[in-house]
Amino acid sequence: MKTIIFVVILLLLLLVVGCVEKITSPVHDDNGDFVYHIGPGDGLLGNVDLYIFLETMQGIAILLINGPGNPIGYQIRKDDIIFCQDSYIGSGGNTFQSGTSLPFNTWVNVNLVVYKSTFAGWLWPIGDLWSVLYNAIVDTTYEIEVMIIYDEPGKRVISVLARDSENIITIQPELVRDLDPKHQKIFQDHLVEMKKSNQ
């Protein structure tokens, strides 16, 4: 009898475990906000997803998600002005910056480096030391430009353009709530942290 009860309990546990479904909570985006995405399919920044979210309460937000390969570092700049950067984003990691004030209707540079190993990402950028160690620690570099086209009279964003030395593409806006569940979750976690820090 004990054996039958044990087998029944074991079968019930297996049935319950097999029926559990992983639930991902979507971003609650009742406003229908748009995000502009430059991804691996665009061939501009390697195996990296760069999201530009134009309408947060603090201004523009940048989310960069690294692929599963080597660690990376990136900057978004115009001449000597650095709008945002992160010198080290590990394999599969991400970085989020809000309150960025990117200029409209002008090209800004997006520079991305892929490190050869994990040891020296924190060194970027450090003037002369950086130039000496560059070849030792950097595997690949990507340099593109991005422009947010803004219609002044209508006070609205029309489109976002991205280009490298060979191509120019128009980035189509996506609704935040239509992103894949993994990227929605990353957005949601960062946006919740933003709300907490503002309270």
Q: Which sequence spans correspond to the domains of the chain?
A: 69-93+102-175
List the strands of the sheet with 34-38, edge to edge.
94-100, 59-66, 48-56, 34-38, 173-175
pLDDT digits (tens, 9 = 90+) for 44-87: 999 999 999 887 777 788 999 999 989 999 999 999 999 999 98
pLDDT digits (tens, 9 = 90+) for 123-153: 555 555 556 666 778 889 999 999 998 876 6
The answer to pTM > 0.75 is: no
* Cis amide bond preceding 125, omega within 30: yes
- The Cα 194–Cα 189 span in angstroms is 9
Q: Is pLDDT at 155 greater than 70 in this prediction?
A: no
